[in-house]
């Protein structure tokens, strides 16, 4: 299908997190490289807590193809990260560091996001995360996402505007390429 469709320029593995299927996704990506005679970018959007050997292979595929790896850095504080995700963030941070250090010019393929969970993920968390990212390159893109209440956290509001502003200003102290995602949610009223 990919081979026969010249409109396909990118394969993106995301949704929840692709780490449980990394061996399969890596093999599919390698087959695409072998069977398709044009460049197809390979991209990943994940929590980043996968097996470091497989994360490295996935990063290599992205670098080779001109794709990206996007880490969802939920929180800097280990306890808060565990509260929000049920997992520690040690492997996430190690994997981000590994990809940032092992590949030259990480800003060409590495990016990060943080969901601004109201009253939990504040400017202190963003300061630590942005400082961590900037220790590798101030050019790495960083997106702050406005939170929308749903599923287990539907009792929380949309991220307050002042929290978004403070987090954005804090991130900009460390990084050049900071943006706010889901801005349209700030216009909604519940």
pLDDT at 19: 80
Contact 139, 107 (CB under 8 A): yes
Q: Is-contact 96 46, C-beta < 8 A?
A: no
d(CA 9, CA 177): 25
Element (H, E) at 111: strand 110-116
Q: 90: which DSSP letter?
A: H
Domains of the chain plus CATH, in order, are 10-187 (3.20.20.70)
pTM: 0.92
Q: Along the 190 residues of the chain, how does pLDDT read in single tens digits?
A: 777 788 889 999 987 678 888 999 999 999 988 888 888 999 999 999 989 999 999 999 999 999 999 999 999 999 999 999 999 999 999 999 999 999 988 888 999 999 999 999 999 999 999 999 999 999 999 999 999 988 878 889 999 999 999 999 999 999 999 999 988 888 754 4
Contacts within 8 Å (CB) and 24+ apart, 52-56? 52/91, 52/94, 52/95, 52/98, 54/19, 54/22, 54/23, 54/26, 55/22, 55/95, 55/98, 55/99, 56/98, 56/99, 56/102
pLDDT at 37: 83
**pLDDT at 190 (0 to 100):** 41
pLDDT (0 to 100) of residue 1: 74
Query: Quick one: angle between helices 161-172 and 123-134, nearest 10?
Result: 30
**Tokens 């101030």 appear where?**
138
């Amino acid at each position: 299908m990919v081979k026969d469709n010249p409109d396909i320029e990118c394969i993106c593995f995301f949704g929840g997190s692709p780490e449980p299927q990394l061996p399969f996704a890596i093999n599919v990506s390698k087959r695409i490289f072998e069977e398709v005679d044009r460049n197809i970018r390979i991209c990943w959007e994940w929590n980043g807590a996968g097996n470091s050997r497989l994360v490295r292979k996935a990063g290599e595929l992205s670098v080779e193809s001109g794709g990206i790896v996007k880490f969802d850095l939920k929180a800097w504080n280990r306890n808060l990260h565990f509260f929000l995700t049920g997992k520690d963030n040690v492997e996430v941070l190690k994997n981000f560091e590994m990809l940032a250090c092992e590949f030259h010019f990480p800003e060409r393929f590495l990016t990060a996001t943080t969901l601004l969970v109201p009253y939990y993920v504040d400017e202190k968390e963003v300061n630590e995360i942005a400082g961590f990212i900037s220790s590798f390159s101030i050019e790495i893109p960083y997106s702050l996402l406005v939170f929308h209440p749903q599923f287990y956290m539907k009792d929380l509001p949309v991220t307050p505007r002042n929290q978004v502003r403070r987090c954005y200003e804090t991130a900009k102290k460390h990084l050049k390429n900071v943006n706010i995602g889901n801005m349209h949610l700030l216009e909604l009223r519940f």
